Structure 1
């Protein structure tokens, strides 16, 4: 058996040290695994090696990387061909531990197995290996199999090396005890690194699951908002990728790493998380009189009372000897007026882009009517709250309700800033919290200007507005046509609302069309003449 000299031992220690540094800095599991196997082969001068990982159900050892120099085979990892070999069963058909396979044995008992010549060993079943040798005209001889376990003793992999070679003659030799100790040390280091990566992956999965949990809660509370929380990150990433690919203009230097992308995606998913605290009747207020129900039905009932009272009054006047024809004419005129006013109030209850001043005044005049309630007392036709709601100029929200809605972004920021974000996700609160800010500083909640905002937050602001304009499922409005949405967005780029440079990329890269064709109703997608879009020069 070949003995190592001081130089060789020193070289192996250097390899272990170098690998330790690489294990600590690598963030890609496939790269990490391939490096582990290559260093193990080099350290022992092995002809081949295999690295197994336990399957998700813990019933198999899956081939992860397989390398053999003589056979010029490299499967798995980052540079290899796809794995063709089936996994090694850890249990037999009766559920008993598979102890016939050396890899399975090492996995079950956490013990290294060092075999000098597999053709002389009778403890394990090497029939599959023998067939492999015959088929490939290869001769397997020495095996070193070392399990890799984490700090809790859970198996994270098995490292198997084959055919150690004499460094001077090239002859196949047994793996020495020194080889075994070095590979066990390497396996221990590798297990720590793999466990570290697995824990990081599990934490990231947990974070993403919590984000999805929040969005499920928002979706259950308001399916309209839930849809918005899914489409805004999608649109944000479309635009961000277009900016990333831009090579000229003010945005030419903007680039994103994979971590940057993950950070922005999470911010997009969480941008409206504060709406989980917003009352449903405000978030989904479809009409001006809606609370937990649409109070227009109550107003309709009052008109029915007025219509009934008018008819009763007419009958009484007839019984008192009045002119029937004149009374009927007056009644018909009054009932027609009441029905017209009822229809007008129904229309006024539907939010719009801007209620005319004369229509607001007409609502107030109608409100001056008196009616007799169920308690027999005469009272104003509209309550103060009903009058305030029916005269809303834009949309369906009162000033108080709009403040409640606007507060969702402050709540989102508070919620997100309360979390201990890791370094690579530290910008999530800023990205998510800036989508209602304006370039001219007139936005909310912080009144930031363009210079005070990141490009990512400015990207999300455009995505949020465009999705809201085109959304076809909001209870308080219809989805706008694509051309009208772009006209509004273009005017926003001119009046200091959104970033004109990002808007230019949004149009020039056809992001609007990609999103529209995938997510908008085809009836909303009309022909676009980009030369007529405000703020854009083709």
Structure 2
């Protein structure tokens, strides 16, 4: 269209001239045309033993009357003599009409491609935004589609066994790809502090700092009580011994509370009992805890009358204002909900009670927070079911919404079993689990070695939580290793003996 050196319009080429001017060009004989440069045409003719003569060049205009291409016809032929002749003035309007139809078809195709590109970009934008919400899940929404695609292709390439008849055409593979990109879109509704809750007392910040300050107050009060007792003619040595013992116990108690704040695998009953006992240590508050608050927190505090100051309070408390009620019923709590959700919904939305949180038995999440984490898949399904997907993408909600289901029917949110789930949905479940296990950014644990992740998944296979045939294909095809080499920290990659996890007779790569 334009000269690469000067940037000026290329008016010597007949095709570019038609595009620039928007008019048709009818040339009876290219070799006699002085207005256009046919050097390239003549060189082609010389090399191929051909004779290019008549040209009819018609611009293609879209619905906005913009030029989107050029239709060029070459060498009109006279019917009876088969002699090459010029394009007649009578045929030119017909060709221009056909060019108009071609422009419509081309414009429609370009619009479809543009819409697809926009949809893909928008989907990836959503996934990237979700990954960006938390440094602990960064890249998850982008890696799961890659692993899903790898496993799906391996299943399609299998000629025998349980996947011999399985195949996905390009449209079906694209449908699965979109489902994988959108599988966690419901996480836009999940509070960031819940997604990344690294300690039991963490909300927007870690409330262990408040607890530590209260311990400091109790220690200062102990010193003040000691000094008062000395002034009142008490035995300084005896009182000092009692003070040192008291301070040492408070230090030990705080260390215990701080340790409880870190998530673990098990909280023994005797530890909960000690936690509760420490929580009953009392301190005196002299300032109002109802000023300088947000509207919502003040409303929760006002559910109980404000006590007179000063007031003696427990060091750790589970207060009524720690409980956040549900104002809107959860979709999963509605009987016969249209989505088929089957979830046990906690009574309250959140419970921020200090003893309640510190006594969490496993990990750092309360029952309410665990439900909120799981609720992302409920929101994913609701969001995707509301979208008017075209026919070739109709299964996107199914694929995206099934990655937390288990083959034995104990998963969520619909308690589907293996027979209820399509193979692509089961593929995505394995991809989601393996990515989460191998991710190095999770808040509750250091990065696991590859062998440990495979071993954990083998337990899931034995417990009928994942598709056993797909898991074996995942191993024997070497996908676990290929994925690890692409996405894992090299320090995580160790030797994996897959013979421990596959059935006798399966071919492995190790």
The TM-score, its normalising length taken from structure 2, stands at 0.81
Instruction: Please say if residues 450 and 492 of structure 2, whose CA atoms lie closer than 8 Å, have aligned partners that are also in contact.
Output: yes
Q: Are residue 224 (structure 1) and residue 136 (structure 2) matched?
A: yes
Q: Is residue 271–residue 432 contact of structure 1 (8 Å, CA) maintained in 2?
A: yes
Contact 1:490 1:535 in 2 (8 A): no
Q: Which residue of 1 aligns with 2:314?
A: 380
Determine the structure 2 residue equivalent to 1:279.
191
| Distance (whole Å) between structure 2 residues aligned to residue 172 and residue 382 of structure 1 | 99
Structure 1 Cα separation of the partners of residues 402 and 219 of structure 2: 52
The answer to whether the 8 Å contact 1:435/1:460 transfers is yes
Relative to structure 2, which stretch is displaced further, 191-200 or 325-334? Answer: 325-334
1:401-412 map, 5 Å: 401-412=369-380
2-structure distance, mates of 1:94, 1:497: 64
Preserved contact between residue 215 and residue 315 of structure 2 (Cα < 8 Å): no
Question: Alpha-carbon deviation of 1:181?
Answer: 5.2
Deviations 1:141-167 (A, max 9, x none): 221212222233222221223334567
In the alignment, the residues of structure 2 paired with residue 435 and residue 464 of structure 1 have an alpha-carbon distance, to the nearest angstrom, of 7
Shift of 1:401: 1.2
Give the conservation status (yes or no) of the 8 Å contact 1:218–1:273: yes
From 376, 390, 393, the equivalent of 1:425 is: 393
| Distance apart, 1:535 and its partner CA | 8.0
1:354 aligns with 2:322: no
Give CA deviations for 1:13-72 in whole Å, capped at 9, x if unaligned: xxxxxxxxxxxxxxxxxxxxxxxxxxxxxxxxxxxxxxxxxxxxxxx3xxxxxxxxxxxx
- Cα separation, 2, equivalents of 1:152 and 1:90: 26
Cα deviation, residue 418, structure 1: 0.7
Instruction: Report deviation, 1:182.
Output: 5.4
Rate the CA distance shift 1:362–1:249 in 2: closer, same or farther, 3 A: farther
Partner of 1:155: 67
Which protein, 1 or 2, shows the higher relative CO under an 8 Å CA cutoff with sep ≥ 6?
A: 2
Query: Is contact 1:493-1:499 (8 Å) kept?
Result: yes
Give 1:445 shift: 1.2
Does the Cα contact within 8 Å between 2:198 and 2:444 map onto a contact in 1? yes
SS of residue in 1 equivalent to 2:163: coil
- State the secondary structure of the residue aligned to 1:477: coil
Q: Residue 275 of structure 2 is aligned with which of 363, 367, 375?
A: 363
Report deviation, 1:134. 6.0
Q: TM-score by structure 1 length?
A: 0.77
Structure-1 separation of matches of 2:92 and 2:263: 77
How far apart are the structure 2 equivalents of 1:402 and 1:371?
A: 32
Q: Deviations over 1:192-247 (max 9, x none)?
A: 22112111111111211221232243234324334211111111112111111122
Residue 466 in structure 1 maps to residue 434 in structure 2: yes
Count of matched residue pairs: 450
Structure 1 stretch 280-289 or stretch 320-329: which is displaced more? Answer: 320-329
User: Where does the alignment leave 5 or more consecutive residues of structure 1 unmatched?
Assistant: 1-59, 61-88
User: Does the aligned pair in 1 maintain the 2:474–2:480 contact within 8 Å?
Assistant: yes
SS in 2 for 1:189: helix
Structure 1 Cα separation of the partners of residues 160 and 45 of structure 2: 59
Q: Distance in 2 between matches of 1:360 and 1:445?
A: 31
Query: How far off is 1:180 after superposition?
Result: 4.1
The residue number in structure 2 matching 1:16 is none
Q: In the alignment, does 2:181 pair up with 1:269?
A: yes
CA contact (8 A) 1:90 1:104 kept: no
Provide the secondary structure at the position in 2 that maps to 1:224.
coil
Deviation at 1:183, TM superposition (A): 4.0
